[in-house]
Homo-oligomer: A and B are copies of this chain.
Amino acid sequence: MSGVGCMNNNREGSSLSTISNTLSAVNSKPRSHSINYVSSDYESLDYDHYESELTVREEKLNGYKTVVASNVIRWLIYFSIAICTAAVGIFIDTVIEYFCNWKFQSIRNCIDVKHSTVECLIIWILFTVIPTLVGCCVVLFMEPSAAGSGIPFVISYLNGIRIPRMTAVRCLLVKVISVVCVCIAGLGGGKEGPLIHIGAMVGGSVVEAWWKGFRNGPGRKVIGPLQNDRERRDMMAAGAAAGLSAAFGSPVGGTLMSLEEGTSFWSSSLMWKVFFCAAIAFPTYNAGKNVLFSNNTNPSESVHSKSIYFFGKFNENTIYFSYSEFPIFIIFGIFGGLLGALFVNINYHLSIFRMKHIISNRKKLMESVFVAVFVAIINLTSMILLNNCQTKLEISSSNVVQMYCPAGSYNEISSFWLRTQEESIRSLFHYPIEAYSVVPLLVYCVIYFILTELTVGLNMSAGLFLPSLLIGAAWGRIASIVIHYYSPGTIGVDPGKYALLGAAAQLGGIVRATISLTVVFIEATGNVQFLLPLMITLFTAKWTGDFFTDGIYEMQIKLSGVPLLVSEPPPLTSDITTEDFMSDTVCAIPHILMVGKLVDILNTTKHNGFPVVASKVCFCRTRNIEHKCYGLLKGFILRSQLNVILEHNLYLTPLHDENYCTKLELLRKSTYTCHDTQQFQRLKVDEDERGIVIDLRPYMNSAPYIVRLVST
């Protein structure tokens, strides 16, 4: 596939790729335009350096001091991204904690004190349906793009696809409200995935706040050059890492996740900044939570304590493994991979069904309410039907109901529904083997699997990190109980260890990340010793899963129609050229032309990027029309830049040292803010202006990427 390596870098991919070095007549090979329909909805980001006469002049006139100042400010911006992401994370946690306590308290009250099942059902339904309605309505009516975990969008954005409204502040707000609602309602969605998206959104918006604050002072020259897509992508990568770092207390894992998923544009200086950001976010978040929750936490309840380890500390002296357990780790991996592939496959068909049949907002809302009611009913029903009684452990006293059980014992399955996800995962990892029996675990595992399938794909912000971990931890624990039952003498059968491996296998089977997940698990458990078992399990889960389906994020990206290119061309494609799949109408613009002509071109085509050529005449090559000769390629210019040039009459004054700054700022702003608006707009121009000649050379990018025409 000639030059496909460059495609990812192409600015405004649709129109550039044909510009070979001569733009002369093209061969008559049949073409496959099958992917045109996807690429028309999305644009590529302008990740290349914008090099023009303007920027060269700016650099010369600003000098070295401004470069240094920009560097300092850049670090401060990264610092503020980390702080803001951590702050949003703390806010989300606080609100969830408050409402969940209220909810669980009310339910416990009506079951154990009032003994009224009907009242309880009503309360439960209210506590599920109201947040669901709120969370779904804000998404549907204010910001539909905030639905889902947002990680597929982050992946796409980091790899160069412009996702509309990705950095809008309203999207951020809606996302926060919606994720809080999902967690309060107790649906099968976590807050960790959305927190990554939120971190990325914070990263994408912070620089604008800096700009607004300092543009009138000396900061103008310094912050101005930081406002470009390249810097924004770096900051979003850092924000995403900060989000994961805060969510799981895992700075290195966050950095690696950002790297593993957004690897197209990685450099070691970027890694350094991303790590800095993740490293600041984690202690900030942790310190903030310690300050807020320190008074209402009972230090004896290790599961609820806000330790620095998200999964709770795994003690190396009590939990260990031997080499003879390796086959078990592999079996765990295979099982996790299979379950993960099943999950992805069901989710795929469910998504298709939703795309076909649940289209109107009314239906979407009804679907959410249905899921919410289903959650409340199945939770309560499972508690009534499965009346396993469990002797009260000291550690689990406050979060369970007695229901029909004798005094001093509690309804076992209630402990799952009356805890937040974090508490559940920690209890599954750390409670002794007798705390859970097989049947409730199995029921919980199956219900949660269904619940997560239903929730992922609703019009709310729900992640699937924690749900996957819970499902995996549940079946991992079941496995440990079964092994313990059939060979009670086996050493090393710790339920927590097996729950951890099950969680890793399940998450790995769904998400298919490996190295970053390994590190996240190590950082979240505080245990380096498990490196080997975790690696074996995650590797096997990934391989097994990949054998059957794509990972969940790739599947979602494909379904959403985002034209994300894979990093390597698929096999047996070396005879396909860029020409075969690019857009077949290329519009080139001469470097010197009249305003009228330019406006006509802009009004008759929908391209967002135009090659600038030396020829005097300009042609649009369209299908089935005789090919015309293009001139020599001079540079490349974006529609947004042309719009600015025409709107602000930049062409009237020649470029000099006094006005370059204003011009550059206008051009930069245009590319930078056009994310959230439709770019195409019909231009009007007075008849007497049509004759003025524009010279595009000072404004165009003079060093665009090009792909040669292979002519044998």
Contact = CB atoms under 8 A, between A and B. Distances in A.
Given A567-B267, A703-B710, A21 B526 contact: no
A59 interface: yes
Interface stretch (A166-174, A348-356, A517-525, A681-689): A517-525
Given A252-B519, A252-B531, A706-B706, 5 more contacts: A59-B572, A251-B531, A279-B539, A313-B316, A703-B708
11 contacts: A2-B703, A21-B22, A59-B575, A252-B522, A259-B259, A259-B271, A260-B268, A267-B567, A279-B539, A519-B519, A526-B529
A269 interface: yes
Contact of A21 (B60, B276, B632, B710): B632
A703 B632 CA distance: 19
Contacts of A49: 5
A575 B703 CA distance: 12
A25 to B, nearest CB: 13
Nearest to A710: B702
Interface in A40-65: 49, 51, 53, 55-56, 59-60, 63-64
A575 B60 contact: yes
Question: How many chain copies does the complex carry?
Answer: 2
A646 to B, nearest CB: 22
A629 to B, nearest CB: 14
A309 B571 CA distance: 42
A260 B255 CA distance: 12
B271 A515 contact: yes
Contact of A531 (B263, B323, B523, B568): B523
Interface string A263-299: 1001111011001100100110001000000000000
Given A263-B267, A263-B268, A571 B21 contact: no
Nearest to A542: B272
Contact of A532 (B283, B316, B539): B283
B710 A518 contact: no
B531 A67 contact: no
A260 B267 contact: no
A710 B507 CA distance: 50
Interface in A691-712: 697, 702-704, 706, 708, 710-712
Contacts of A266: 263, 266
B632 A712 contact: no
A269 B567 contact: yes
Nearest to A313: B316
A662 interface: no
B51 A268 contact: no
A5 B267 CA distance: 12
Given A3-B703, A703-B3, A708-B706, A575 B56 contact: yes
Interface in A312-361: 313, 316, 323
Contact of A267 (B59, B528, B568, B712): B568
B252 A263 contact: no
Contacts of A268: 260-261, 263, 567
B515 A522 contact: no
Nearest to A532: B283
A633 interface: yes
Given A60-B575, A531-B523, A22 B632 contact: yes
A271 B260 contact: yes
Contacts of A525: 528
Nearest to A75: B543
A16 interface: no
Nearest 7 interchain pairs by C-beta:
A21-B21, A67-B571, A2-B703, A526-B528, A263-B268, A275-B515, A267-B567
Contacts of A261: 268
A276 B567 contact: no
Contact of A571 (B64, B528, B567): B64
Interface string A493-535: 0000000000000000000001100110011011111011001
A487 interface: no
A609 to B, nearest CB: 16
A308 interface: yes
Interface residues of A, number: 73
Interface string A415-440: 00000000000000000000000000
Contacts of A34: none
A268 to B, nearest CB: 5
A574 interface: yes
Contact of A529 (B60, B308, B632): B308
Contact of A59 (B63, B515, B574): B574
Contact of A518 (B56, B252, B287, B704): B252
A526 B525 CA distance: 12
Contacts of A256: 256
Contact of A255 (B2, B515, B568): B515
B251 A535 contact: yes
Contacts of A309: 528
Contacts of A283: 532
Contacts of A518: 252
A279 B56 contact: no
Interface string A526-569: 11110110010001000000000000000000000000000110
A615 to B, nearest CB: 14
Contacts of A3: 703
Question: Which residue, A255, A256, A633, has most C-beta atoms of chain B within 10 A?
Answer: A256
Contacts of A574: 51, 55-56, 59
A633 B21 contact: yes
Interface in A579-600: none
Contacts of A272: 514-515
A267 B316 CA distance: 34
Contacts of A308: 529
A598 to B, nearest CB: 20
Given A514-B272, A703-B2, A708 B572 contact: no
A60 B528 contact: no
Interface in A609-668: 632-634
A127 B568 CA distance: 54
Contacts of A634: 711
A238 to B, nearest CB: 13
A14 to B, nearest CB: 21
A325 to B, nearest CB: 13
A532 B3 CA distance: 43
A151 to B, nearest CB: 15
Contacts of A55: 574
